[in-house]
Amino acid sequence: MTEWRPRVAIIGTGGIAHVHVRMIRDLGGELVAVCGRTLGAASAFGHADPYDDPARMLRERAPEVVHVCSPHHLHAEHSIAALAAGAHVLCEKPMATKLDDGLRMIDAAARAGRTGAIAYTYRGYPLIEVLRSKLAADHFGNLRRVGGCYLSQDVFAADKYVWMFSPGTTGDSYVLMDLGVHWLDLVEFVTRQRIVEITAQLSTHQPERIWRGAPGEGREPPGSRTEDGGVRVRHGLEEQADLLIRLSNGAAGSATISGVSPGHPNTIALSIDGSERGADWNQQDPNVWIERSATGNTTIQRSPDALPQHLAWMSKLPSGHAEGYADAFRNVVFQSWAAMRGGHFGYPSFADGLRGLRLIDAALRSAADRRPVSVGD
């Protein structure tokens, strides 16, 4: 797909870092180093030379690209260090935990003359691009409604703990930062409209969770000791967010974002109503979309031929053969690397990352004040 075979380093050695390894290799990158919280973690991760000090890794290995896969609150620190060392950055979402950190990352990229990309991986589905181009071509008529959901069962188990419940790791939100940010990005990306107003209601269903030190739970948080050696943590973070949104063209819609929905491993749904037709798409069945009209609905298969010419590279398998998450993920890494090389591909940028933080900030303020909140640029 690309002639560029950059020297790449990864910071963070958890679940998503393994996916990045696969994408880097698929695209012909050379993975030169991996930096974990400890040398043991980086060694156990494998794949490349292990480090536990990002500064040393950047100095010694001089990667051209750094993929930042550490926990949310470290994205800014790790990205800014990589940019200052002359690397381009592909940073995991959410961009940061605070708006100020997002702004500092944008400033660091500008000062370094390097590209900052955000791993909004769901943008990489070909059918997302199909819906986007059909909306732009007024295929659905005037856009009236955008709705949907992001439902998962990530933290459904009664006392399930993840590091995002540890103070300081995720800002003031759990589910919007972890899942909602993807849905909000998809809405603005697909519609090319801004969300100008948000009304949010947040729910915390399981305010007490137990840390046991399992993978994904992070370091021991403050809390009270349980009889079996765990740590009982009380937190005020939302596991469910219900959002009402208004778009810049006047369209309106709603979504539920939840990490406690049994039987939903990763349901991301996007539903569009226009004045002529409607559309539905679901990430768990990403090779089809439903076109709705007042006289009946049609299920339409992904087909490379349906993509605009300049996006034909996104979908290589013939229609009727499943493409999926890994293909979408690889597409976003490819777009981001192409942008780093000065190519003219669209890609999810640091500006898009900051946008996600602004939308979440507005949602949190709305929920706190129990009122609609306007979203600035």
Q: How far is the CB of 274 from ligand NAD (least distance, A)?
A: 28
Closer by beta carbon to ligand NAD, 78 or else 88: 78
Closer by beta carbon to ligand NAD, 120 or else 140: 120
Q: How far is the CB of 118 from ligand NAD (least distance, A)?
A: 9
Closer by beta carbon to ligand NAD, 87 or else 306: 87
Number of residue whose CB is nearest ligand NAD: 14
Backbone angles phi, psi at 20, to 5 degrees: -60, -40
- The Cα 321–Cα 290 span in angstroms is 18
Closer by beta carbon to ligand NAD, 71 or else 147: 71
Closer by beta carbon to ligand NAD, 74 or else 247: 74
Q: How far is the CB of 11 from ligand NAD (least distance, A)?
A: 5
79 neighbors 87 (Cβ within 8 angstroms): no
Closer by beta carbon to ligand NAD, 94 or else 253: 94
Which CA distances in Å does 323 have to 125, 129, 183, 248, 311?
Answer: 9, 14, 20, 33, 15
Residues within the interface to ligand NAD (CB under 6 A): 11-17, 35-37, 41, 69-72, 74, 92-93, 119, 121, 163, 178, 216
Which CA distances in Å does 121 have to 20, 27, 324?
Answer: 11, 15, 11
Q: How far is the CB of 29 from ligand NAD (least distance, A)?
A: 17
- Rounded to 5°, the CA angle 340-345-348 comes to 75
Q: How far is the CB of 124 from ligand NAD (least distance, A)?
A: 10
Nearest-10 Cα torsion for 61, 66, 69, 72: 110
Q: How far is the CB of 230 from ligand NAD (least distance, A)?
A: 17
- The Cα 61–Cα 78 span in angstroms is 15
Picking from 192, 201, 228, 235, the residue whose alpha carbon sits closest to that of residue 212 is 228
Compute how many other C-beta atoms are within 10 angstroms of the C-beta atom of residue 358: 17
